[in-house]
Amino acid sequence: MVSFSSQVDFSLPHIKIRDLNKYYQVQDNQVHALKNINLDIPHGKIFGIIGKSGAGKSSLIRTLNGLEKPSEGSILIQQHNLAELKHAELIQLRQRIGMIFQHFNLLSAKTVSENVALPLKIAHVKKTDIEQRVDEVLQLVGLSDKAQHYPSQLSGGQKQRVGIARALVHHPEILLCDEATSALDPESTSVVLSLLKEINQKLGITIVLITHEMQVIREICDQVVVIDHGEIVESGQVWSVFSNPQQAITQELLNLEQLDLPFDLLSQPNDADSAVILKLRYRSELQESPDLKVIFQQFEDKVNLYQSHIDTIQQHLIGSFIVAVPQQLFNLDELKQKLQAYAFDIEVLGYAKPTH
């Protein structure tokens, strides 16, 4: 029998997906839900998969614990190919992968402690061991005092914490979260996300979560992939993807504000004395914001600030501002050179009538 917990090489991906395709047959139509997915999910990280509804997120997460079979391609967990596992090994593997769901999937006629105990009962674990493990996980999620309550007596956030306790009861090494906070209010979302982060850090569990909410990704994930129409369109460290989103879909998910300049401000580029409207995006690992003096000096202090935004993600400072500067003083290369320490991205958005 394959052992999933011994001899773990942490330098290898915990989950490796290669050339994964998933097709569904719906009457006469074939839906191509996942298209050539290749992904390495590292050990002990929180890995986010984000996309709009219908992008293929659930199909992807369901293939990770064997609920769906890939139509093509392979999934390796700790170097073991799921497709090659025998039935008993697959059952053993499923115990190493916990899962939590958007709607918690608790049994309403059972108490909190009975709900949490259920996976252990099914696996014929000894009664005394069951009691000990249930106590341990309920304590971990801060619900020891609710052990004898029924789900209907709990808030949404508490129900999800029961869901997390149940998912941890087999001491898994991977936790899959399927839109785990989408049914929760902002306060409960925050409690559940903090708990997931704590579990990741305390127990070293690899967490894979799918969501359509960027807020979830930015709060707890280390890495993110953006999935659109079944394809991975963007991936990387969260701060890196957030600070410089390449794809329109990522920008849409990030809900980047569009600049609506008043119509009477805009002018034509061939208007020699018009101002250039620039969007300057920066990111800094050093927690330093750019020296605005550099910009103001280059343009002889004739700068209009239209919009600015600053954020800290994973200890990186990320910001943008939109300014109008005199066209005759604008030299893109020179400006880039001066600002290069801050990894600047400079985009010309349009032209404005002069105000100086």
- Which residues make up the interface to ligand ADP (CB under 6 A)? 24, 26, 31, 33, 51, 53-59
Q: What span, in angstroms and rounded, lies between the C-alpha atoms of 309 and 306? A: 11
Q: How far is CA 141 from CA 135, 162, 226, 264, 299, in A?
A: 10, 8, 30, 57, 56
Instruction: Closer to ligand ADP by CB, 116 or 226: give it.
Output: 226
Tokens of 264: 């009477």
Encoded amino acid at 71, one letter? S
Q: What span, in angstroms and rounded, lies between the C-alpha atoms of 18 and 67? A: 18
Instruction: Closer to ligand ADP by CB, 59 or 65: give it.
Output: 59
At residue 261, φ and ψ (nearest 5 deg) are -80, 140
List the beta bridge partners of residue 39.
Answer: 17
Chain length of the chain: 356
Minimum CB separation from ligand ADP for residue 305, in Å? Answer: 39
Q: Name, in order, each residue with C-beta under 8 angstroms of 328's C-beta and a sequence gap of 6 or more.
A: 272, 273
Instruction: Closer to ligand ADP by CB, 54 or 204: give it.
Output: 54
Minimum CB separation from ligand ADP for residue 50, in Å? Answer: 9
Minimum CB separation from ligand ADP for residue 62, in Å? Answer: 8
| Secondary structure letter of residue 80 according to DSSP | E
Instruction: Closer to ligand ADP by CB, 53 or 340: give it.
Output: 53
Instruction: Closer to ligand ADP by CB, 53 or 315: give it.
Output: 53
Minimum CB separation from ligand ADP for residue 17, in Å? Answer: 15
Minimum CB separation from ligand ADP for residue 55, in Å? Answer: 4
